[in-house]
């Protein structure tokens, strides 16, 4: 019989593809934490009931993935500043009074992967972000806290990018893709899901500054179209989002268990499993 006092899970729809059980099980083994982590498929419209059942059964914490991050934000009794600004929650846990505490660790995961795992820099850099959906909104606060010199959000529907620019103010500006001609950036982050369809946003040549990096928040078993584009454009480094996935999970794990796992071997394990035939 599983001990419900150490039960954690990821909720989403679909969920079978999730790497979270692999990642958190590896973290638990590495750090000697006695905990169980499962994936729970939740029917659309039943998220609140699913969380209530999980909490009532003694579950301790949850990761939340598509399409329930906004519902998790609404359900949280208390939210961090990052989660508040993100308008989405990907990590929930329950305090001794049963209150639901919400955090969004996506941006922390992105920043840590760039800076700690790859020795990159955000401070003082000119950053271009492609896309203006929930994935981008979720990472903006931690990115801006790392004090880039400039942050431009490009999107097909420019009004969506303008909404984000207004929400986060600071030095964030918005533009359509066709306004990128002639510009160059030190770090280009793809926050669109185009890679999952084998596609690319409409990007001009010359966008990657000398010494510039490219980062795709999506990941796959082979180089994504955006990573391939970055390599062809001469980026010093073109990365996918697998490291971000593991780093955001590590932050969730730390919030739940008070222990920071070593992410490097886990990133390698997940990468190896991805490329298995």
Judge whether 173 is annotated as a binding position.
Answer: no
Nearest alpha-carbon partner for 99 in 80, 83, 77: 77
Contacts of 113 (CB under 8 A, 6+ apart): 239, 241, 243, 244, 246, 247
Give the integer Cα–Cα distance in Å for 230 and 188. Answer: 9
Nearest alpha-carbon partner for 224 in 264, 202, 193: 193
- Residue 115 Cα distances to 12, 37, 72, 143, 215, angstroms: 29, 28, 28, 11, 12
Judge whether 120 is annotated as a binding position.
Answer: no
Judge whether 208 is annotated as a binding position.
Answer: no
Active site annotation includes 60:
no
Judge whether 248 is annotated as a binding position.
Answer: yes
Length of the chain: 277
Judge whether 18 is annotated as a binding position.
Answer: yes
Judge whether 37 is annotated as a binding position.
Answer: no
By three-state DSSP, how is residue 179 classified? helix
Judge whether 19 is annotated as a binding position.
Answer: yes
- Could you say which of 60, 69, 260, 276 is catalytic? 69
Judge whether 241 is annotated as a binding position.
Answer: yes
The owner of tokens 């492609």 is: 130
Judge whether 80 is annotated as a binding position.
Answer: no
Residue ranges at the known binding site for NADP(+): 131-135, 155-160, 217, 241
Q: Which residue numbers are catalytic?
A: 69
Residue ranges at the known binding site: 18-20, 65, 90, 106, 131-135, 155-160, 217, 219, 241, 248
């Amino acid at each position: 019989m599983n001990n419900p006092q150490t039960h954690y899970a990821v909720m989403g729809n679909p969920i079978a593809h999730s790497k979270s059980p692999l990642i958190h099980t590896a973290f638990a083994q590495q750090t000697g934490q006695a905990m169980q982590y499962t994936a729970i498929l939740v029917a659309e419209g039943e998220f609140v009931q699913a969380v209530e059942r999980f909490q009532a059964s003694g579950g301790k914490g949850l990761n939340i993935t598509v399409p329930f991050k906004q519902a998790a934000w609404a359900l949280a009794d208390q939210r961090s500043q990052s989660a508040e600004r993100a308008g989405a929650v990907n990590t929930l846990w329950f305090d001794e009074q049963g209150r639901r505490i919400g955090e969004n660790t996506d941006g922390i995961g992105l920043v840590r992967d760039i800076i700690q795992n790859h020795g990159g820099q955000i401070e003082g850099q000119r950053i271009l972000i492609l896309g203006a959906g929930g994935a981008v909104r979720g990472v903006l606060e931690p990115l801006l806290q790392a004090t880039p010199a400039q942050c431009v959000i490009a999107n097909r529907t420019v009004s969506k990018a303008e909404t984000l620019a207004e929400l986060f103010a600071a030095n964030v500006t918005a533009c359509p893709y066709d306004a990128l001609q002639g510009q160059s950036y030190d770090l280009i982050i793809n926050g669109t899901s185009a890679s999952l369809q084998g596609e690319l946003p409409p990007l001009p040549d010359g966008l990657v500054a000398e010494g510039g990096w490219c980062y795709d928040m999506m990941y796959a078993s082979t180089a994504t179209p955006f990573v391939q584009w970055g390599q062809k454009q001469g980026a010093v480094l073109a990365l996918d989002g697998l490291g971000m996935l593991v780093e955001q999970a590590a932050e969730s794990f730390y919030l739940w268990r008070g222990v920071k796992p070593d992410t490097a071997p886990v990133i390698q394990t997940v990468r190896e499993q991805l490329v298995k035939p």
